[in-house]
Structure 1
Amino acid sequence: MTILVTGATGTVGTQVVAQLARRGADIRALVRDPAKAKLPAGVAVAQGEMLDVDSMRAALAGVDTLFLLNAVVPDEFTQALVTLNLAREAGIGRIVYLSVIHSDVYADVPHFAGKHAVERMIEQTGLHATVLRPAYFMNNDVGVKDAVFGHGVYPMPVGDRGLAMVDVRDIGEIAALALLKRARAPAPLPFERFNLVGPDLLTGGAIAGIWSDVLGRPVVHAGNDTAAFEQTLRRFAPAWMAYDMRKMADRFQSDGMVPEAGDVERLTGMLGRPLRSYRDLAREVVAGG
């Protein structure tokens, strides 16, 4: 029983590998540069990239279960289809795919629309898979702590409809549990899909309020100007990515990221504990400076 983890050294992949290793799984991690990969002891390394067909065939050889995670890149959709087709050719019938919540709703957001197309491919080709649909990663907000700490401003245009932000550590643990459930089943399990969310529906004002409470001083929300958000991102990211993120923020305003009935209860039951909250994360960030 070997599980191949793509994106193994990224934000979510690192958590998935750690959770699988903690449970004694036989793990193979797909990495571009093995010399730079920091992985738990005992994790096998497969060097390759998802658009390199030969390296992917080698990485998938002898694998029973696949965790497919794609970074937000221009060719994300092609990467996913190539990998899934190669997995099918290799006879791999146990797959967990990391999509995104409301991939079918945010139809004008490039990386959401791409993930929804991958979901359709999985269903239409009859692959036995669990599709995980996480909401916005609350851990992304660690990157704006300088604005919060130094200027008393929460800058993200998350809107007023509410986002059920989820902690990446919960995503990693749930993904590991889903992988092991499929890997250990006597036969491939049916297709399933469910959301990964946090315990609270958060607006920009609510998040600013949490930071105010945790820091003991006022923090205000900067507002929901998505055009300004795009221009800020262009200082650090390619123009196409900044625009993609701006379109996502536009949908935050119009639709939010609202869980379905029973989402929180299902995830709590899987984990056997409460989901991590944004307040928990804020306290950790403050404690760590």
Structure 2
Amino acid sequence: MSSPIKPVILLLGATGQLGKLIVDRLRKNDTISLRVTSRKTEQLPGLKKQYGDAVYLDLDDPRTFGDALKGVERVYLLTGYTVNMLVQSKAIIDAAKKADIKHIVHLGVFTPKFDCYDPHFAWHQMIEVYLKNSGISYTFLHPNCFMQNLTGFYSIVKNGKVRFYTNETKVGWIALEDVADASVKILTEGPSKHQGKDYWFSTESLNVSEIAQILSEVIGHKFLADAQPPEQFIKDFGAGKPYIDPYFLGVAECFRQIVDGRMSYISEVRDDLPHLIGRKGMSLKEWAKVHKEELLQVVKKEQRD
């Protein structure tokens, strides 16, 4: 008796923070076949060795989509966070339609249905509308602020302080590990269970003072809260640059709308993880315990510098 054909899942963004967590979980699942992508040809040998099936795909060049999508049933749509995501996502969805893809899981943002006018939030909504009208089965993920941003790209924790740009206004938080677990559940179960559904991930609502207190308790090192207004974000990340990416302007606008109340929904706790994976998402305290060594390294580096 022949074995059933395993659905092939194509994961975009496999080398990013979230992508790595997802592929490391999917590779252990013997009910699916995994295919990862990279736009850097020099990364492909290593990815093939690690995951078995790795192909070249450049989101800015739709000519690379055909071979990458061949034989694929499900796609995890994770693009770069610039205005280019609009064209990239449209092109992927168009190519997926031609390739008879059965299911696209889109990683979006924590948005309401209406009255959402921050640029990069609206970009995600436009992608979702286009995907809805493509005829392809879809699932939309709506995570709130990532806890990993405390030590990741934005380096919110530095110089013995926790700096955030919403004054003392609370926002919702979610651990990337939890988003990865939910993503794997949806990808492996497929459209028969998750077609047309929206899932929300925001497990705890905290302001910068509460974050600093929690980190201080877990790490055993005193962190001070550095509550900054939205305008400081561009000064910190765009100062001296001849051109500021529209995404960064969008993030600053997001902070502005959180503070003035237009995006007050960002403070909501809304967690679909118990429904999906049978447990609540990690609290910040739980996340900090998991990442204690990483946070300690941040402290030690600052002490050396």
> In the alignment, is residue 63 of structure 1 matched against residue 72 of structure 2?
yes
Alignment-derived partner of residue 205 in structure 1 = 209
Alignment-derived partner of residue 48 in structure 1 = 57
2:104 is paired with a residue of what secondary structure? strand
Alignment-derived partner of residue 8 in structure 2 = 2
Alignment-derived partner of residue 166 in structure 1 = 174
Say whether the 8 Å CA contact 2:9–2:33 is kept in structure 1.
yes
Cα distance in 1 for residues equivalent to 2:21 and 2:291: 18
Say whether the 8 Å CA contact 1:159–1:256 is kept in structure 2.
no
TM-score by length of 1: 0.87
Change (3 A) 1:176 1:158: farther
Say whether the 8 Å CA contact 1:226–1:249 is kept in structure 2.
yes
Instruction: Note the alpha carbon deviations across 1:4-24, whole angstroms, 9 max, x for none.
Output: 111111111111111111212
Change (3 A) 1:72 1:147: closer
> In the alignment, is residue 244 of structure 1 matched against residue 250 of structure 2?
yes
Alignment-derived partner of residue 123 in structure 1 = 132
TM-score by length of 2: 0.82
Say whether the 8 Å CA contact 2:8–2:33 is kept in structure 1.
yes
Alignment-derived partner of residue 101 in structure 1 = 110
Say whether the 8 Å CA contact 1:164–1:202 is kept in structure 2.
yes
Alignment-derived partner of residue 87 in structure 2 = 78
> Which deviates more from structure 2 when the two are superposed, residues 213-222 or residues 24-33?
213-222
Say whether the 8 Å CA contact 2:238–2:244 is kept in structure 1.
yes
RMSD over aligned Cα atoms: 2.6
What is the CA distance between 1:117 and its match in structure 2?
0.2
Alignment-derived partner of residue 133 in structure 1 = 142
Instruction: Note the alpha carbon deviations across 1:241-277, whole angstroms, 9 max, x for none.
Output: 33222112123322151446xx42x312422333222
Cα distance in 2 for residues equivalent to 1:103 and 1:50: 27
- Structure number with the higher strand fraction is 2
Change (3 A) 1:181 1:98: same
Change (3 A) 1:148 1:86: closer
Structure 2: tracts of 5 or more residues without a match: 1-6, 297-305
Alignment-derived partner of residue 274 in structure 1 = 280
Alignment-derived partner of residue 193 in structure 1 = 198
Structure 1: tracts of 5 or more residues without a match: none
What is the CA distance between 1:135 and its match in structure 2?
0.7
Change (3 A) 1:217 1:91: closer
